[in-house]
């Protein structure tokens, strides 16, 4: 590349091993001389010159314009800034330049620094230039193997973060990285200090980062949360792509066969990935709760990885610990609202308080439940056994996280579509491109998978949401707890996708049976069932047994509340006629929309009965 651009002459003219102050002055002069902040031709020429001098000074030990101090303190940060321009990144993406950057990044001088700007150059190049990812892991560069070595051997948060990010980007496509992904999972690493696969390395790093996060020590430079987040993104790629590359069998064919069950993620899985399950669950249970809500990275990415993993009999001990199996007790209309399970935590097991719980206390209560769950989990950072020690119930943990999250966003009994709810979310969430549905839906999907995959977990979850002692004297959707918030989101227009997922969660929780679901009120689920293609009306007393609470009180299938004794009406005949007309119009609209079959329209049935037909 020609170095004749006048704009870069201050750097070209530097003497050999120039003092750092001269290098800084040259870069300042170049910045002032550029005709445009992104003078592409000059930027590419300068970047190539700097890279050649960096290699000479830090790797080869030959003549260079840069001293070692000038190279690391000034030239590398400048190269990183230049590489943010896509055209310059494209130049850095050549096999030769990637090899140079990799050799610079692995020098002992750079590994001891807080910022490894050579690795940052590689990560940025792989982010901006997709072909660079293929080049980096190809035989010309062998960067994938080198990055994995760095990840294994380094205790630096900066190195763990950047190598994880590079490997995450390089494994994003199963088409271009198929052989590399298979190599990471299948092959023992010959140049490793111990004969491990990449999976073993990832397990070790996950536990190491979790230990750092649990210890809560302040760190300078790269945050452990950032390092774990990108490590989890890499784990997610392997869990998604590897089973399909090796033609693994689907884990839940009975779920996939149902036309009504929308599978959010693939259930393909390989036993070779089983080693990732314990560290993911350790992190899920042990990660310190965040305020004002827990669904921030890295917890969000832990959940993304967990929803890939099948829930079945072979791994139920990993998911749910030593929870004793209970005989299946499928709900029937004669049953109470939920099956009782001794020892299962519930959001509301006491009679309703006379006064509403203050908003701050409600959120604090949910956060405290998470902290208590963490304290009950015995874990050692050095444990590498296949089965975690004293694993608590992941199903209940997921419910507690959902409770804390909804309490933070949907406070009190406000309409979830109100503008202040959306503003509250944006105030708590820095990633503006994400919606509330993007953040909360994966956790709801995880709970749904527990309900579909394990009968005992389903019963515990149902009892957690709808305990036997549930106060049914007031509208369920007006409750200031997790059940009430879920039912309000179910009716939301603005959070439509989240509402659909919550509907699927309750549908799975109640045995995929719309009749059982009406214990929470047909009115709360009518829209969901209609959109799901289930055209059914509320249970009729003539055809269905009366649903009751645990103390024998009848449940109204429309509202889910207890049936109250009717007080003598003080309406006039004219007022009664007006109310009857309103009901007639309402049921007529439901029938015309298809939400209510004609045979289940109570007004039509009353008219037919009156005419004797």
197-246: pLDDT as tens digits: 999 999 999 999 999 999 988 788 899 999 999 999 999 999 999 999 99
Supply 210's token pair: 């979790």
Supply 76's token pair: 């590398």
CA distances from 492 to 199, 326, 415, 489, 527 (A): 42, 36, 8, 5, 11
- The mean pLDDT value of the chain amounts to 82
Q: Which residue has the higher pLDDT, 508 or 592?
A: 508
437 close to 409: Cβ distance less than 8 angstroms: no
Residue 478 DSSP class? G
What integer pLDDT is reported at residue 431 of this predicted model?
56
Which range among 120-124, 310-314, 410-414 has the greatest average pLDDT? 120-124
584 close to 593: Cβ distance less than 8 angstroms: no
Domain range summary for the chain, segments of one domain joined by +: 1-137, 323-531, 575-611
Does the pLDDT value for residue 47 go beyond 60?
A: yes
Which range among 49-63, 415-429, 575-589, 594-608 has the greatest average pLDDT? 49-63
| Element housing 174 (H / E) | none
d(CA 10, CA 30): 7
What integer pLDDT is reported at residue 612 of this predicted model?
61
What integer pLDDT is reported at residue 436 of this predicted model?
81
CA distances from 455 to 254, 438, 444 (A): 14, 28, 17
Instruction: Say whether 141 sits in a helix, a strand or coil.
Output: coil
Ranges of beta strands (E only) in 450-543 are: none
Instruction: Say whether 411 sits in a helix, a strand or coil.
Output: coil
Question: Exposed, middle or buried: residue 493 (CB in 10 Å: 0-12, 13-18, 19+)?
Answer: exposed
150 close to 159: Cβ distance less than 8 angstroms: yes
Q: Which residue has the higher pLDDT, 392 or 458?
A: 458
Going by C-beta distance under 8 Å and a sequence separation of 6 or more, which residues neighbour residue 25?
Answer: 10
474-506: pLDDT as tens digits: 999 999 999 999 999 998 888 889 999 999 999
Does the pLDDT value for residue 352 go beyond 60?
A: no
Distance of CA 591 to the CA centre of its chain: 40
């Amino acid at each position: 590349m020609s170095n004749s651009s006048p704009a870069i002459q201050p750097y070209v003219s530097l003497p050999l091993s120039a003092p750092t102050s001269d290098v800084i002055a040259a870069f300042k002069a170049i910045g002032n001389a550029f005709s445009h902040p992104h003078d592409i031709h000059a930027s590419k020429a300068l970047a190539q010159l700097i890279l050649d001098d960096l290699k000479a000074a830090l790797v080869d030990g030959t003549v260079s314009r840069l001293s070692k101090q000038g190279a690391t303190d000034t030239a590398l940060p400048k190269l990183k800034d230049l590489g943010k321009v896509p055209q310059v990144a494209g130049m850095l993406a050549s096999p030769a330049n990637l090899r140079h950057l990799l050799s610079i990044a692995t020098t002992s001088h750079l590994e001891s620094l807080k910022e490894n700007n050579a690795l940052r150059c590689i990560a940025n190049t792989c982010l901006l230039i997709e072909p660079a990812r293929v080049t980096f892991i190809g035989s010309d560069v062998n960067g994938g193997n080198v990055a994995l070595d760095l990840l294994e051997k380094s205790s630096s948060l900066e190195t763990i973060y950047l190598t994880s990010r590079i490997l995450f980007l390089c494994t994003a496509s199963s088409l271009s990285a198929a052989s590399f992904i298979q190599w990471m999972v299948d092959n023992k690493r010959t140049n490793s200090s111990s004969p491990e696969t990449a999976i073993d390395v990832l397990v070790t790093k996950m536990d190491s980062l979790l230990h750092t996060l649990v210890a809560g020590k302040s760190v300078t430079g790269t945050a452990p949360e950032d390092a774990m987040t990108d490590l989890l993104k890499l784990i997610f790629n392997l869990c998604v792509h590897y089973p399909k590359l090796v033609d693994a069998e689907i884990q839940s064919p009975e779920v996939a066969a149902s036309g009504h069950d929308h599978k959010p993620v693939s259930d393909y899985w390989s036993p070779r990935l089983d080693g990732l399950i314990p560290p993911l669950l350790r992190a899920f249970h042990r990660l310190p709760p965040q305020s004002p809500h827990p669904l921030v990275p890295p917890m969000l990415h832990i959940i993304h990885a967990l929803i890939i993993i099948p829930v079945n009999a072979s791994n139920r001990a990993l998911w749910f610990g030593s929870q004793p199996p209970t005989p299946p007790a499928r709900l029937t209309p004669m049953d109470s609202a939920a099956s009782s399970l001794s020892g299962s935590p519930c959001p509301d097991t006491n009679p309703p308080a006379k006064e509403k719980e203050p908003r701050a206390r409600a959120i604090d209560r949910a956060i405290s439940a998470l902290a208590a769950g963490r304290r009950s989990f015995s874990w050692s950072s050095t444990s590498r056994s296949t089965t975690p020690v004293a694993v608590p119930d992941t199903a209940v943990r997921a419910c507690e996280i959902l409770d804390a999250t909804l309490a933070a966003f949907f406070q009190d009994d406000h309409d979830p579509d109100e503008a202040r709810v959306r503003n509250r979310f944006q105030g708590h969430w820095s990633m503006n491109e994400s919606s509330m549905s993007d953040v909360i839906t994966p956790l709801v999907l995880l709970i749904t998978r527990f309900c579909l995959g394990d009968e005992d977990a389903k019963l515990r979850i149902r009892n957690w949401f709808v305990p036997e002692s549930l106060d049914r004297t007031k509208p369920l959707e007006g409750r200031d707890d997790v059940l009430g918030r879920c039912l309000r989101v179910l009716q939301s227009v603005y959070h439509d996708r989240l509402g659909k997922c919550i509907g699927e969660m309750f549908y799975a929780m109640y045995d995929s049976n719309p009749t059982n679901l009406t214990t929470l009120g047909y009115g709360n689920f009518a829209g969901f069932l209609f959109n799901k293609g289930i055209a059914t009306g509320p249970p009729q007393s003539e055809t269905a047994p009366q649903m009751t609470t645990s103390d024998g009180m009848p449940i109204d299938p429309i509202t889910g509340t207890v049936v109250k004794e009717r007080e003598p009406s003080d309406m006039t005949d004219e007022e009664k006629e007006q109310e009857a007309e309103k009901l007639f119009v309402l049921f007529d609209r439901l029938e015309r929309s298809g939400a209510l079959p004609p045979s289940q329209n109570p007004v039509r049935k009353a008219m037919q009965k009156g005419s004797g037909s």
